[in-house]
Amino acid sequence: MTVNSTQQAISSATNAASMAEGGFKRVLSLWDLVIFGLAFIGPTAPYSMYGIATVKSHGHLPLVYGVAMVAMGFTALSYGRMATAFPEAGSTYTYTAKALRPTVGFFAGWALMLDYILIPMLSVIFVGLTANKVWPEAPYWVWALIAAAGITAINLGGIRVTSRANYLTNAIMVTSLVWFIALAIRALHAGAGEGVLFSTKPFFNPQTFAFGDIVNTTSLAVLSFIGFDGISTLAEDAKDPRRDIARATVLVCLVAGALFVIESYLAQMVWPDYTTFSPVETAFMDIGRLVGGPALFFFFSFVLVVAGIASAITGQAGASRLLCGLGRDRVLPYRIFGYVHPRLGTPVYSVLLMGGVHLAGALILKYTEAAELVNFGAFIGFMLVNLCVVRHYWLRLGLRQGRQSVTNLLLPISGFAICFYIWLHLSPFALKLGAIWMALGFIYLLFLTRGFTRKAEMGKW
């Protein structure tokens, strides 16, 4: 028997045993994981923030996205490295608990829980608001209920159903991108905007370039990449997690970054005078109307709803698997959060709980209130995962020869520094409420450890 066939036999036996015990189904290929990550991030992310970021960078958003792609690439590499070492569904929680300390893992999981709760909730709120604006006959709460119920039903159907939904939503978003790119190129050839297809001005315009503005806008642009870490929560749904989780995480950052640069470059070329955006929040929509008329303008509106649904589906899937990892380690009640349906391969109780929380939050919170909190937990998780690489590979395993010094020390330290800088520049509102959330986590940790009289150990909380 060949090595490959032996590995396949072992994998099949493992899958069968896992399913018999109510485990996840290993059905996701490399490209399934990439599509999942792109759906979470949203290949059309620049649509909503284009105007604000372009004004802030004084017409250099393509350059900013290129810098942001490199910056987040460091953290993507760290996630890939840790997924290879610990291919488990707990993601950031598991990495920090095993590479650093269980108590640090608890706080990482607690911080990420806030992030994973809020991202799908934001999408439910956005979809509800948009649908209510188009069809005001039905009140907002009805649309929020429909959105939350539909997203939860898709995730209850199992990871195959979620994967197929991701392919569909990504196809719709990519269609809008292809349409815009084709029409923007045609408009430039016809003399619109700059009147040429190739120019260095969106990357460097000496009349408006300012290094400080580029750095500050990069801290905003990296928010478009939030969600790539969700791929690591699917480690137990992937066919070959040690290989594919790492590859998919990096690929998603590169593909998303390239798309963001292309979108913002063509938009800047078609409408070079960013001082004329009115209102600035809908700048990309107005550019779509300029090159494609009302048809593209309204399709962009539809795509923004689709992007919200895609983000909610993948966010809820990632959140339920994070909760499952915490449940299996008894950080949360095992019978509820650690349970995986034997036929569907889905943590059904976690999915249902997330669906209820997302609906409740959509009915209570305003969009802006939830949005300001999203990145607090995300960047805490990013910083800790970068430190995990140093602790596990550089210190524990002693991998320090040649290029190992770069991959196991220099790159993760760079990733940590970038994330720390961005985290420090979050709004005071986000930092204050985030601190309250972490304080609640500390109180819960006191309860788990009986006032730290019990040793914190994974699986023995």
What are the pLDDT digits (tens) for 386-420? 999 999 999 999 999 888 999 999 999 999 998 89
**Average pLDDT value for residue range 375-396:** 91
CB 216 within 8 A of CB 55: no
**Average pLDDT value for residue range 224-230:** 79
Q: Report the amino acid identity of residue 369.
A: E
Structure confidence at residue 5 (pLDDT): 37
Judge whether residue 193 has pLDDT over 80.
Answer: yes
Structure confidence at residue 13 (pLDDT): 32
Tokens of 383: 């910083």
Higher pLDDT, 67 or 345: 67
Q: Report the amino acid identity of residue 21.
A: E
Cβ neighbour number for residue 455 with a 10 Å cutoff = 10
> How many residues does this entry show for the chain?
461
| Nearest residue to 75 via CA among 414, 318, 391 | 414
Cβ partners under 8 Å of residue 58, min gap 6: 205, 208, 209, 210, 213, 274
Query: Is residue 411 classed exposed, middle or buried when 0-12, 13-18 and 19+ CB atoms within 10 A define those classes?
Result: buried
Structure confidence at residue 246 (pLDDT): 87
Judge whether residue 105 has pLDDT over 70.
Answer: yes
Query: What is the residue-averaged pLDDT of the chain?
Result: 83
Q: Is the pTM of this model over 0.95?
A: no
Judge whether residue 459 has pLDDT over 70.
Answer: no
Judge whether residue 80 has pLDDT over 70.
Answer: yes
| Nearest residue to 259 via CA among 206, 184, 202, 181 | 181
CB 220 within 8 A of CB 49: yes
Place of tokens 């372009």: 54
CB 51 within 8 A of CB 217: no
Geometric angle at alpha carbon 173, from 170 and 174, rounded to 5°:
85
**Average pLDDT value for residue range 374-379:** 80
| Nearest residue to 110 via CA among 93, 96, 87 | 93
**Average pLDDT value for residue range 340-345:** 79
The 3-state DSSP class for residue 22 equals coil
Structure confidence at residue 280 (pLDDT): 79
| Nearest residue to 350 via CA among 141, 95, 120 | 120
Domains parsed from the chain with CATH numbers: 23-448 (1.20.1740.10)
Tell me the C-alpha distance between 436 and 443, whole Å: 11
Give long-range contacts, CB 8 A cutoff, 24+ apart: 200-208: 201/59, 201/268, 201/272, 202/59, 202/60, 202/61, 202/62, 202/63, 202/264, 202/265, 202/268, 202/269, 203/60, 203/62, 203/63, 203/66, 204/60, 204/63, 205/58, 205/59, 205/60, 208/58, 208/59, 208/60
pLDDT tens, position by position, 10-55: 233 334 333 334 566 788 889 888 988 887 787 888 887 888 889 9
Judge whether residue 331 has pLDDT over 80.
Answer: no
**Average pLDDT value for residue range 278-302:** 84
**Average pLDDT value for residue range 243-253:** 90
